[in-house]
Amino acid sequence: MSARIIHITGARPNFPKAAPVMRALDELGMDQMLVHTGQHYDDKLSEIFFRQLHLRKPDMSLGVGSGSHAQQTAAIMVALEAVFMEHAPELVVVYGDVNSTLAAALVASKLGIRLAHVEAGLRSFDRGMPEEINRILTDSVSDLLFTTSADANAHLGREGVPEEKIFFVGNPMIDTLLSSADRFDAGAVLSGIGLRATDPYLVATLHRPANVDDPASLTGLVDALVECAAIAPIVLPMHPRGARAFAATGILAEPGIHVIDPQGYLEFMGLVRGSRAVITDSGGVQEETTMLGVPCLTLRPNTERPVTISDGTNTLVTAETVASTLRERLASAEHAHRRTPPLWDGHAGRRIARIIGEQVA
């Protein structure tokens, strides 16, 4: 099978972004295929998303699995080079900032294949984050750069990207959120830990190396979560990356913190929508809480998504300030008086598809 457009997905954050773009391209009758690298391979981090988001099954699965950043990126590059040489696409489409995105970008560039980057231009200005390196390098070799916010356009302009390559289209992940909202359901998850949907609770998601890899930092973080759990019970889906480290802190014995397995998209978004607030270090969750009007406390010194602060519900916090900030946010009606970021309207996928259709003629 050959295709004029090849989409690359590899990890959980990619799937809600790719689904609306691929559907919109199908509506235009574009010849496309989906390659899943297998960077995330656990069912709750990968396969369930294809089912729940009605995303077509991958035409090809590479099964690269885990490894160091170098090992994983190299394995994906070797596998994708063979795929691209066999199928000779006119355009490769990559999403976000995971290792699969950078690997595909480098291979496409070396082979002279045009590259489109969905979610281009985001910058935390923290090069200690592997994702920041992936973002910068991917954007530097992309031919079509689709942005989710005006600040992303500005960053790309300062980096010398020609204006005609940059397209402000909105956020395709929000397309998925809005189209799936009537199916969000956390009832079974909550009942399984003894909570009702009407009970006040918090959601936490934590996985970044800066938070979970250093034992001292993790201990302080767990202490902060225990303090927050005194305000409301915490539901903590545990990313495999941090499971052992968190378990060693004794968090599993804390009665107010409910550690659960990773959840599917519909279950997790149901948890987020029903929560009083979310404590996270994730990028995408900052955007989803903004659209749902749920206060978000981000345990990071920076964010590549400042629009979630200026036009959303997000606040940057530290382990030392998260509990006090949580109390302030819950006591305040601030999050009810918010703007929706421009073009986060559920039509980003169609905008992207239209531009791709014009470019791949």
Q: Both ends of the chain: CA-CA distance in Å? A: 19
Q: Could you say which of 207, 258, 337, 347 is catalytic?
A: 207
Of 279, 259, 119, 289, nearest in space to 193 by CA: 259
Q: Are strands 60-61 and 32-36 parallel, antiparallel or unpaired?
A: parallel
> How many residues belong to the chain?
361
The single-letter DSSP state of residue 240 is G
Residue 207 backbone dihedrals phi, psi, to 5 degrees: -155, -10
Residue 247 backbone dihedrals phi, psi, to 5 degrees: -60, -35
Cβ atoms 154, 131 nearer than 8 A: no
Residue 279 backbone dihedrals phi, psi, to 5 degrees: -110, 125
Cβ atoms 352, 117 nearer than 8 A: no
3-class secondary structure, 54: coil
3-class secondary structure, 241: helix
Active site residue 207: yes
Residues with catalytic annotation? 207
